[in-house]
Chains A and B, each alone.
Chain A
Amino acid sequence: MSTDVTAKSPAPAPPGKSGTAGGGLLQLMLDGLRRNMRQYGMLIALGLIVALFAVWTDGDLLLPRNVSNLVLQNSYVLILAIGMMLVIIAGHIDLSVGSLTAFVGAFAAVLTVQHSVSWPVAVVLCLAIGAVAGSVQGFFIAYLGIPSFIVTLAGMLVFRGLTEILLEGQTLGPFPDGLQKIGNGFLPEAGPETNYHNITLLLGLALLVFVILQEVRDRKRQQEFSLDVLPRNIFLLKLVSIGSAVLVVTLLLASYKGAPIILLILGALVVGYGYVMRNAVFGRHIYAIGGNLPAAKLSGVKDKKVTFLVFLNMGVLAALAGLAIAARLNAASPKAGLNYELEAIASAFIGGASMSGGVGTVLGAIIGGLVLGVLNNGMNLLSVGSDWQQVIKGLALLAAVGFDVWNKRKSGS
């Protein structure tokens, strides 16, 4: 309905946005904010939560040791959340991942502890069994048309049961050193003695340079195609804020034991999956089948194959998370990964996914996961009991999605 109004103005920019650089800056930022309310809203909420807990814990939250811990504690839920985001964007759900992580952990323990398989081989086998588990579920969902809720609910029971069978109800450990590193390890140190972790600093700087180069190149590319770009000062502001965030985290980690290995794995996953979802044909097809399945089919999208691959991928990521949990606890337990599927699902929804599919970003899942993670960690520091922690996390989920619904209704449809 609204389109007729704007179309009459010949300029491509919507009216009211043509303010000059000086006074228009704030206006422009507000406009941008309003248009991307969901993403920025959650980022701001995360910032607020961090700030609140930093104050309440007298700064303990941001101590280097705690930041390092926060990463180690939440990495597996974040890994699961990435896969879950893809599943939810495709219009499905996966309830089996918590059980699957436990199963893979048990499998790893049986291989390395009971049969002394070398750890790199065990890792490969574990990822493979995750892929198999994911593709079996994917086959039922994509090719036989059984609803994902049912298939993965069954999977949740089956994998939990298999875990207990494998472990015979016992906890199995400890793992070989190499495997432990995945969950607990830090980057090795080299070079002269400084107060900081050298390799981490170098890595952080490299990342900083990479991000800035990437942004600048992207902007140049857009100008080449004579497309609209962000105004110069906004662009600089964006660079500065991204840059300082990278620097702060780098310094915090470098002043403790350095970057945890799992963080590097997670970082690679975020960049990789973010890229796939934004730029790859495969990612585009996931959005398309989640947004409107019949339309995607009639556009020649191989919907079954895409759905199958999304679940296969979820299986591999669940296996990776399972290895990380087992490695961190240095034991495989029948109760490992309990309710992790729900944490991953909650992360995705806090991060902007939609029940009906077709919406969401990988970064959103990470932000959602971090909101939950910081809440967990902060409340632990404040010695809030696990009873109240659950209540508060539940309310946070409700508030985030409630805000989303309210915001959508306000903007009118």
Chain B
Amino acid sequence: MAGPVLEMRSIVKTFPGVKALSDVTLTVRQGEVHAICGENGAGKSTLMKVLSGVHPHGTYEGEILFDGEVCEFKDIRASEAHGIVIIHQELALVPFLSLAENIFLGNEHATRGLINWNDTLKHASELLRRVGLSDHPETRVADIGVGKQQLVEIAKALSKKVKLLILDEPTAALNDEDSGKLLDLILELKKQGITSIIISHKLNEIRTVADSVTIIRDGQSIETLDVKAAETTEDRIISGMVGRDLDHRFPERTAYEGEVDAAPALEIRDWTVHHPIDQQRKVVDDVSIHVRRGEIVGIAGLMGAGRTELAMSVFGRAYGRHADGTVLKDGKEIRTKTVAEAVKHGIAYVTEDRKHYGLNLIDTINRNISLSALGKVSKRGIVDEHEERKVAEGFRKSMNIKAPTVFEPVGKLSGGNQQKVVLSKWIFAGPEVLILDEPTRGIDVGAKYEIYTVIDQLAAQGKAVVFISSELPELLGMCDRIYTMAAGRLTGEFPRAEATQEVLMRQMTKDKEVTR
């Protein structure tokens, strides 16, 4: 194997009051794909920010060797000049500029300040072809999907003569198909001699694409494993990340034995929703589902399958146009035209996008928890702050929200703890039906287990739970019954005993024409 291209030695990075990295050593060999994994807050992103010069030289301790020379990057431009390019989790593209303009942003093909368009477009299409895109370089970024946008980011990196490509959770927002394309591209680039560092939560992804993996825990590098070696199993990596053996990734669930004769807690019949802009398109097409008290029902589907759209349109018409169909609670038809009505009927929807739709990040834990049910802690329109604080303290303890007080702004918490706040908020509202949309997205393994436990308890208390997820193992581990959706239609329904990953995936990828 080739020698090291990058060595980061004993990196220490402190923020006021927090030691984000206490001692990290990372060695990446020339031409390999090197994965970095660790729980949220372990310091992965901070480490990459140190490497790429976002945290300039002098703000950290330790040394960085790239291509055999000591590097002291003072900003991101300096690291890019050496061929180190980082692609952040949140894409940094300007939506209303064209692909070509985005690719050469900050690096324009220009003479004396005037852009040379022919040159720009020619080079842009070459770069787009290299990443497997056939779109015209004058297309606006806003008009292509997230998966393609990620590829445009890589094209942008290639334009900078990249030697070391850093991808921070590149597939977090992508569906399986786009993820697959992206991973193939990384392997393709590897053949061309480009070294990659990939930060990822998805262990199967690491298994497919990476050569070695470095595990970081609590700001320290724990170990580097050879991914191709037989003993490097997913469980082996997980135990390295959490520092303990994880025998059970899911809490023990007793199978659901509810009264099948009773009317379901929530039933949705013949539900159809049109796209908010393209009104001809049916995003949800004639879907009927139900969930009983004490039951956890999964909805499996890839991105764009209409799962979230189904949930949000039922929950107060928060998505789409011309939603049509009936919603029944305990056998009686109910109106859920506004969120307030849905909440009043005991329905709660925990969003997949907690930062945008779930939390007020600048506000405190206690105020976030009470928001959907302020009536419970107030009299005649006046909030009883003491009562509110007591409620929040209760949730902080029972949900194990890691924060010194409930007056901490939610934005300062890690993803897992934020998710616990969102869950607390809706549990406090006292719903009978909970719709959980990707409740464990982007959070670490330990916090996932805690959230599974909470979901299990909710079902045990007789709540009806709808569990939307694209991670099949967690659906299989948690649900009593699983629906599959594809392209807005319901494509299957499986009891726990009959469901396997293969069976579900087949229904999730079913094409519209076939089901017709």
How many angstroms from the CA of A222 to the CA of B425 in the assembled complex? 23
Residue of A nearest to B17 (CB): A2
A20 within 8 A of B: no
| Chain B residues, Cβ within 8 Å of A225 | 386-387, 389-390
B144 within 8 A of A: no
A17 to nearest B CB, angstroms? 10
How many angstroms from the CA of A411 to the CA of B411 in the assembled complex? 13
Set B316, B389, B414: member contacting A4, Cβ < 8 A: B414
B232 within 8 A of A: no
Q: Is A291 a contact partner of B383 (Cβ separation < 8 A)?
A: no
Q: Tell me what chain A mostly uses at the interface: helix, strand, loop, or mixed.
A: helix
| Chain A residues, Cβ within 8 Å of B222 | none
Contact with A along B353-388 (1 / 0, CB 8 A): 000111111110001001110110010011101110
How many angstroms from the CA of A281 to the CA of B375 in the assembled complex? 8
Q: Is B378 a contact partner of A281 (Cβ separation < 8 A)?
A: yes
Q: Is B360 a contact partner of A291 (Cβ separation < 8 A)?
A: yes
How many angstroms from the CA of A6 to the CA of B43 in the assembled complex? 16
How many angstroms from the CA of A14 to the CA of B363 in the assembled complex? 20
| Chain A residues, Cβ within 8 Å of B413 | 3
B457 within 8 A of A: no
Residues from 232 to 291 in B contacting A, C-beta threshold 8 Å? none
Q: Is A413 a contact partner of B359 (Cβ separation < 8 A)?
A: no
| Chain A residues, Cβ within 8 Å of B43 | 1
Contact with A along B299-318 (1 / 0, CB 8 A): 00000000000000001101
Q: Is B402 a contact partner of A301 (Cβ separation < 8 A)?
A: no
* Contact A291 to B363, CB < 8 A, known contacts A2-B412, A281-B381, A298-B357: yes
| Chain A residues, Cβ within 8 Å of B218 | 4
Interface size class of A (residues with CB under 8 A): 35 or more
A5 within 8 A of B: yes
Set B17, B340, B381, B389: member contacting A302, Cβ < 8 A: B340
B468 within 8 A of A: no
Residue of B nearest to A298 (CB): B357
A351 to nearest B CB, angstroms? 17
Residue of B nearest to A294 (CB): B357
Set B356, B374, B378: member contacting A292, Cβ < 8 A: B356
Q: Is A279 a contact partner of B383 (Cβ separation < 8 A)?
A: yes
B403 within 8 A of A: yes
| Chain A residues, Cβ within 8 Å of B17 | 2, 412
How many angstroms from the CA of A295 to the CA of B411 in the assembled complex? 14
Contact with A along B378-417 (1 / 0, CB 8 A): 1001110111011001000000001111001001111001
How many angstroms from the CA of A410 to the CA of B15 in the assembled complex? 9
A39 to nearest B CB, angstroms? 14
B41 within 8 A of A: yes
Residues from 244 to 288 in A contacting B, C-beta threshold 8 Å? 278-282, 284-285, 287-288
Q: Is B16 a contact partner of A295 (Cβ separation < 8 A)?
A: no
* Contact A358 to B378, CB < 8 A, known contacts A296-B371, A298-B351: no
Residues from 1 to 47 in A contacting B, C-beta threshold 8 Å? 1-7, 12-14
Residue of B nearest to A228 (CB): B405
Q: Is A280 a contact partner of B389 (Cβ separation < 8 A)?
A: no
Q: Is B375 a contact partner of A222 (Cβ separation < 8 A)?
A: no
A221 within 8 A of B: yes
* Contact A284 to B374, CB < 8 A, known contacts A1-B18, A298-B351, A300-B340: yes
Set A224, A295, A302: member contacting B356, Cβ < 8 A: A295
How many angstroms from the CA of A358 to the CA of B405 in the assembled complex? 21
How many angstroms from the CA of A7 to the CA of B405 in the assembled complex? 10
Residue of A nearest to B417 (CB): A3
Total contacts A to B, CB within 8 angstroms?
A: 131
Set A3, A292, A410: member contacting B402, Cβ < 8 A: A3
Q: Is B356 a contact partner of A294 (Cβ separation < 8 A)?
A: yes
Set B16, B360, B417: member contacting A412, Cβ < 8 A: B16
Residue of A nearest to B40 (CB): A1
Residue of B nearest to A6 (CB): B404
Q: Is B414 a contact partner of A291 (Cβ separation < 8 A)?
A: no
Q: Is B402 a contact partner of A297 (Cβ separation < 8 A)?
A: no
B513 to nearest A CB, angstroms? 35
B339 within 8 A of A: yes
| Chain A residues, Cβ within 8 Å of B403 | 3, 6-7
B24 within 8 A of A: no
Q: Is B382 a contact partner of A281 (Cβ separation < 8 A)?
A: yes
Q: Is B360 a contact partner of A287 (Cβ separation < 8 A)?
A: yes
Q: Is A301 a contact partner of B371 (Cβ separation < 8 A)?
A: yes
Q: Is B18 a contact partner of A295 (Cβ separation < 8 A)?
A: no
Q: Is B362 a contact partner of A358 (Cβ separation < 8 A)?
A: yes
B221 to nearest A CB, angstroms? 17
B6 within 8 A of A: no
Q: Is B390 a contact partner of A4 (Cβ separation < 8 A)?
A: no
Q: Is A299 a contact partner of B425 (Cβ separation < 8 A)?
A: yes
A131 to nearest B CB, angstroms? 20
* Contact A221 to B371, CB < 8 A, known contacts A291-B363, A295-B356: no
Residue of A nearest to B400 (CB): A7
How many angstroms from the CA of A299 to the CA of B375 in the assembled complex? 12
A359 within 8 A of B: yes
How many angstroms from the CA of A72 to the CA of B390 in the assembled complex? 43
Q: Is A292 a contact partner of B361 (Cβ separation < 8 A)?
A: yes
Q: Is A2 a contact partner of B315 (Cβ separation < 8 A)?
A: no
Residues from 308 to 362 in B contacting A, C-beta threshold 8 Å? 315-316, 318, 338-340, 342-343, 349, 351, 356-362
A18 to nearest B CB, angstroms? 13
| Chain B residues, Cβ within 8 Å of A221 | 386
Set B16, B367, B414: member contacting A284, Cβ < 8 A: B367
Q: Is B362 a contact partner of A291 (Cβ separation < 8 A)?
A: yes
How many angstroms from the CA of A412 to the CA of B404 in the assembled complex? 17
Residue of B nearest to A275 (CB): B382
Residues from 15 to 53 in B contacting A, C-beta threshold 8 Å? 15-20, 41, 43, 46
Q: Is B360 a contact partner of A296 (Cβ separation < 8 A)?
A: yes
Contact with A along B200-226 (1 / 0, CB 8 A): 000000000000000000100000000
Set B360, B382, B385: member contacting A295, Cβ < 8 A: B360
Q: Is A300 a contact partner of B356 (Cβ separation < 8 A)?
A: no
Q: Is A4 a contact partner of B41 (Cβ separation < 8 A)?
A: yes
- Which of A5, A282, A295, A412 has most chain B Cβ within 10 Å? A295
Set B360, B390, B404: member contacting A288, Cβ < 8 A: B360
| Chain A residues, Cβ within 8 Å of B367 | 284, 287-288
Q: Is A300 a contact partner of B386 (Cβ separation < 8 A)?
A: no
| Chain B residues, Cβ within 8 Å of A1 | 15, 18, 20, 41, 43, 46, 414
Residue of A nearest to B45 (CB): A1
A227 within 8 A of B: yes
| Chain B residues, Cβ within 8 Å of A282 | 381
| Chain A residues, Cβ within 8 Å of B19 | 5
A-binding residues in B (CB < 8 A): 15-20, 41, 43, 46, 218, 315-316, 318, 338-340, 342-343, 349, 351, 356-363, 367, 370-372, 374-375, 378, 381-383, 385-387, 389-390, 393, 402-405, 408, 411-414, 417, 425
Could you pull out 27 A-B pairs where Cβ atoms are within 8 angstroms? A1-B41, A1-B414, A3-B404, A3-B414, A4-B218, A5-B19, A6-B402, A12-B405, A221-B386, A225-B390, A227-B386, A228-B405, A278-B385, A280-B383, A284-B370, A285-B374, A288-B371, A291-B362, A295-B359, A297-B318, A298-B315, A298-B339, A299-B371, A299-B425, A358-B360, A358-B362, A413-B412
Nearest 9 pairs between A and B by C-beta?
A291-B360, A7-B402, A299-B372, A2-B18, A292-B360, A300-B339, A300-B340, A3-B402, A300-B343
B-binding residues in A (CB < 8 A): 1-7, 12-14, 221-222, 224-225, 227-228, 278-282, 284-285, 287-288, 291-292, 294-302, 354, 358-359, 410-413
Q: List 5 other contacts, CB 8 Å, given A14-B404, A288-B371.
A: A3-B41, A278-B385, A294-B357, A298-B339, A299-B371
